[in-house]
Amino acid sequence: MQEDKTARRYFVTGTVQGVGYRYFAQRAARHLGLAGFVRNLGDGRVEVYAVGLAESLEKLKGELQQGPSGAQVTSVLEGVMERAREEDAAIERRSADGFSIEYDN
């Protein structure tokens, strides 16, 4: 049911670009039944936007903290881009179904 779903934005820092991190995040999110997207940011971080059950979102955060074998994750912050703090994100209609990798902002 839609009312049981929430959305979160995660900003991942460290060595997370050029190491297959987006594909890793996509597989993890799909495995957990989440919708949303993952994309590289110009400042070297990776943004993950996910929609689903709170329990699945917490599991995803744990997966993001581990990352693929070539990555070195420094931190996974939740919140808005300007000030990373914990808060739910708005559910975006374009990301309500499926989980995609976005290229170019």
- Is position 9 annotated as part of the catalytic site? no
Cβ–Cβ under 8 Å, residues 60 and 48? yes
Tell how many helices (H) and how many strands (E) occur in the chain: 2, 5
* Angle at 28 (CA atoms; ends 38, 26), nearest 5 degrees: 30
Tell me the C-alpha distance between 32 and 52, whole Å: 9
- Is position 22 annotated as part of the catalytic site? yes
Catalytic residue among 8, 9, 40, 45: 40
Catalytic residue among 22, 83, 85, 105: 22
Known catalytic residues?
A: 22, 40
